[in-house]
Chains A and B, each alone.
Chain A
Amino acid sequence: MTTITSPAPASGAAEAKSAAGRAPLRRGLLRWLFVAPALAYMALFFGYPLVRNIVMSFQHYTPKTYFTGEAPFNGLDNWRAVFANELFTDALWHTALFTVGSLLGQFTIGLTLAVFFSRRFRLSGFVRAVLLLPWLVPMVVSAVVWRRILDQDHGMLNTALHAVGLVPQDGVPWLSSPGVALLSAVLVNIWIGIPFNMVILYGGLQEIPRELYEAASLDGSGPWRTFRSITLPMLRPVITVVLVLGFMSTVKILDLILALTSGGPADSTQTLGTVTYQLSFLQLDFGQGAVVGNVLILISAVFAVLYLRANRADFGKGK
Chain B
Amino acid sequence: MPFLGRSRTGRGRVPAFAVTLACVIVAPGLAGCAAEPDPGTVTVLNSATDTAEHTANQRFFDRCGKPLGLRVEQISVPADQIASKALRMASSDSLTDILELDGSELPQFAQTEGLRPLDAVGVDTSGLSASAKSLGSYDGTQYGIARSVNSLALIYNTELLKDAGIAPPTTWKELRAAARKLTAGDTYGMAFSASPNADGVYQFLPFFWSAGGDEAEIDSGKGEAALQLWKDLVADGSASRSVVNWNQQDVNDQFVAGRAAMMINGPWQVPVLSAQKNVDWAVASIPVPEAGKPAVPPIGGTVMAVPKNDDDPAREKNAGKVLNCLNSEKNQLQWGESVNNVPTRATAAQAYAKQNPKLAAFAELVTTARSRTAKVGTGWPVVGDALAGAFQSVLTGRTSPEQALHRAQQQASAGK
A positions within 8 Å CB-CB of B: 62-64, 66-69, 81, 84-85, 147, 151-154, 173, 175-178, 261-268, 278, 281-284
Q: Is B392 located at the chain interface by the 8 A CB criterion?
A: yes
* Complex CA–CA separation, A156 to B197 (angstroms): 25
In B345-382, the 8 Å CB interface with A consists of 381-382
Query: Which stretch from B43-51, B108-116, B146-154, B204-212 is at the chain A interface?
Result: B108-116
Q: Which of A151, A265, A283 touches B382 (beta carbons < 8 Å)?
A: A283
Contacts A/B (CB < 8 Å), 12 sampled: A63-B109, A84-B414, A147-B245, A175-B245, A262-B195, A264-B392, A265-B196, A265-B395, A266-B393, A281-B80, A281-B84, A283-B415
Q: Which of A85, A266, A284 touches B398 (beta carbons < 8 Å)?
A: A266
Contacts of B196 in A (CB 8 A): 261-267
Q: Which of A265, A278, A281 touches B385 (beta carbons < 8 Å)?
A: A278
Q: Which of B90, B242, B398 touches A178 (beta carbons < 8 Å)?
A: B398
Provided the pairs A63-B111, A282-B385, A283-B382 are in contact, do residues A264 and B244 lie with their beta carbons within 8 angstroms?
yes
- Identify the 5 closest CB pairs spanning chains A and B, nearest first: A264-B196, A67-B114, A265-B244, A66-B87, A64-B112
Q: Is B338 located at the chain interface by the 8 A CB criterion?
A: no
B240 touches A152 (CB 8 A): yes
Q: Is B259 located at the chain interface by the 8 A CB criterion?
A: yes
Provided the pairs A63-B87, A283-B415 are in contact, do residues A175 and B112 lie with their beta carbons within 8 angstroms?
no
Give A153's nearest chain B residue, CB to CB: B240
B positions within 8 Å CB-CB of A: 80, 83-84, 87-88, 90-91, 108-109, 111-114, 186, 195-197, 240-245, 259, 381-382, 385, 388-389, 392-393, 395-396, 398, 414-415
Provided the pairs A154-B259, A263-B196, A266-B396 are in contact, do residues A176 and B241 lie with their beta carbons within 8 angstroms?
yes
B112 touches A265 (CB 8 A): no
B242 touches A175 (CB 8 A): yes
With most chain A CB atoms within 10 A of its CB, the pick from B83, B90, B196, B245 is: B245
Q: Which of A66, A173, A283 touches B381 (beta carbons < 8 Å)?
A: A283
* Complex CA–CA separation, A266 to B388 (angstroms): 8
Contacts of B112 in A (CB 8 A): 62-64, 66-68
Tell me the interface secondary structure of chain A in the complex.
loop
* Complex CA–CA separation, A265 to B244 (angstroms): 6
Give A263's nearest chain B residue, CB to CB: B196
With most chain A CB atoms within 10 A of its CB, the pick from B196, B259, B414 is: B196
* Complex CA–CA separation, A175 to B396 (angstroms): 11
A66 touches B91 (CB 8 A): yes
* Complex CA–CA separation, A230 to B197 (angstroms): 51
* Complex CA–CA separation, A25 to B260 (angstroms): 79
* Complex CA–CA separation, A289 to B395 (angstroms): 28
With most chain A CB atoms within 10 A of its CB, the pick from B197, B240, B244, B392 is: B244
Provided the pairs A152-B240, A263-B196, A265-B396 are in contact, do residues A176 and B414 lie with their beta carbons within 8 angstroms?
no
Q: Which of A66, A263, A268 touches B90 (beta carbons < 8 Å)?
A: A66
Given contacts A153-B259, A281-B80, A283-B415, 11 further A-B contacts (CB under 8 A): A63-B83, A63-B112, A66-B91, A81-B414, A176-B242, A178-B398, A265-B395, A265-B396, A266-B392, A266-B393, A278-B385
Minimum CB–CB distance from B23 to chain A (whole Å) comes to 14
Q: Which of A62, A81, A262, A268 touches B197 (beta carbons < 8 Å)?
A: A262
Minimum CB–CB distance from B44 to chain A (whole Å) comes to 19
Contacts of B392 in A (CB 8 A): 264-267
Give A44's nearest chain B residue, CB to CB: B26
Contacts of B109 in A (CB 8 A): 63
Minimum CB–CB distance from B61 to chain A (whole Å) comes to 25
Contacts of B244 in A (CB 8 A): 176, 264-266
Minimum CB–CB distance from B330 to chain A (whole Å) comes to 35
A64 touches B111 (CB 8 A): yes
Contacts of B395 in A (CB 8 A): 265-266
Provided the pairs A64-B112, A67-B90, A267-B389 are in contact, do residues A152 and B241 lie with their beta carbons within 8 angstroms?
yes
Contacts of A175 in B (CB 8 A): 242, 245
Minimum CB–CB distance from A129 to chain B (whole Å) comes to 33
* Complex CA–CA separation, A177 to B392 (angstroms): 10
Give B398's nearest chain A residue, CB to CB: A266
* Complex CA–CA separation, A313 to B87 (angstroms): 47
Give B381's nearest chain A residue, CB to CB: A283
Q: Which of B108, B186, B195, B197 touches A284 (beta carbons < 8 Å)?
A: B108
Minimum CB–CB distance from B182 to chain A (whole Å) comes to 16
Contacts of A68 in B (CB 8 A): 112-113
Give A270's nearest chain B residue, CB to CB: B196
* Complex CA–CA separation, A24 to B243 (angstroms): 71
* Complex CA–CA separation, A284 to B86 (angstroms): 12
B108 touches A176 (CB 8 A): no
Minimum CB–CB distance from B334 to chain A (whole Å) comes to 33
* Complex CA–CA separation, A153 to B385 (angstroms): 27
* Complex CA–CA separation, A176 to B241 (angstroms): 6
B83 touches A153 (CB 8 A): no
Minimum CB–CB distance from A262 to chain B (whole Å) comes to 5
Give A264's nearest chain B residue, CB to CB: B196
A64 touches B113 (CB 8 A): yes
Minimum CB–CB distance from B273 to chain A (whole Å) comes to 20
Provided the pairs A267-B392, A278-B385, A281-B83 are in contact, do residues A151 and B91 lie with their beta carbons within 8 angstroms?
no
Contacts of B88 in A (CB 8 A): 66
* Complex CA–CA separation, A151 to B240 (angstroms): 10
Minimum CB–CB distance from A286 to chain B (whole Å) comes to 9
With most chain B CB atoms within 10 A of its CB, the pick from A173, A261, A282 is: A282
Contacts of B242 in A (CB 8 A): 151-153, 175-176
* Complex CA–CA separation, A68 to B112 (angstroms): 8
* Complex CA–CA separation, A56 to B351 (angstroms): 51
Contacts of B388 in A (CB 8 A): 264
* Complex CA–CA separation, A194 to B307 (angstroms): 49
A178 touches B396 (CB 8 A): yes
Minimum CB–CB distance from A139 to chain B (whole Å) comes to 17
Contacts of A284 in B (CB 8 A): 83, 87, 108, 381
* Complex CA–CA separation, A69 to B93 (angstroms): 11
Minimum CB–CB distance from B112 to chain A (whole Å) comes to 4
